[in-house]
């Protein structure tokens, strides 16, 4: 069973930065597609960023392009989300998700693509 544990959330002023981490209990981390989603109160969970396999391919939601960077350290079984120039509209619970490449269908933005989810970490951006 894959377990994902997020950390790094918190309260930050607009324009500030945070780095989220997600540690995965998997045997071969490079065999997974990893993603970050977020959910604000009253909204559906939405795609933020994804990184596939070894990390050569990354994908971003238009709303975060140029501000957020996803990366992974396969030796540490950890995926990161560096968030810069944060805005109040980035306030949400951020979730880490994983899908083994054997089942990954290529739709990195699709919530149904991912089999495993973390418990979420709150990010609050004040204006």
What b/e readout covers 68-98, taking b as 16+ CB neighbours within 10 angstroms?
bbbebeeeebbbbbebeebeeebbbbbbbbb
For the chain, what is the mean pLDDT? Answer: 96
pLDDT in tens, 1-29: 899 999 999 999 999 999 999 999 998 99
Q: Give per-residue pLDDT as tens, 33-48.
A: 999 999 999 999 999 9
Residue 1: the pLDDT is 84
Residue 87 three-state SS: coil
Residue with the bigger pLDDT between 44 and 56: it is 44
Q: How confident is the model at residue 65 (pLDDT cuts 50, 70, 90)?
A: very high
For residue 4, give the 3-state DSSP assignment.
Answer: strand
């Amino acid at each position: 069973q894959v377990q994902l544990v997020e950390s790094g959330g918190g309260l930050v002023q607009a324009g500030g930065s945070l780095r989220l981490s997600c540690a995965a209990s998997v045997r071969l981390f490079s065999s997974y597609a990893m993603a970050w989603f977020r959910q604000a109160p009253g909204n559906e969970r939405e795609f933020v960023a994804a990184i596939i396999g070894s990390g050569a391919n990354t994908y971003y939601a238009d709303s975060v392009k140029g501000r957020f960077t996803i990366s992974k350290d396969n030796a540490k079984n950890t995926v990161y989300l560096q968030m810069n120039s944060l805005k109040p509209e980035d306030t949400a619970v951020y979730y880490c998700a994983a899908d083994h490449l054997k089942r990954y269908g290529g739709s990195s933005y699709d919530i149904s693509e991912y089999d495993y989810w973390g418990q979420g970490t709150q990010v609050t951006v004040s204006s």
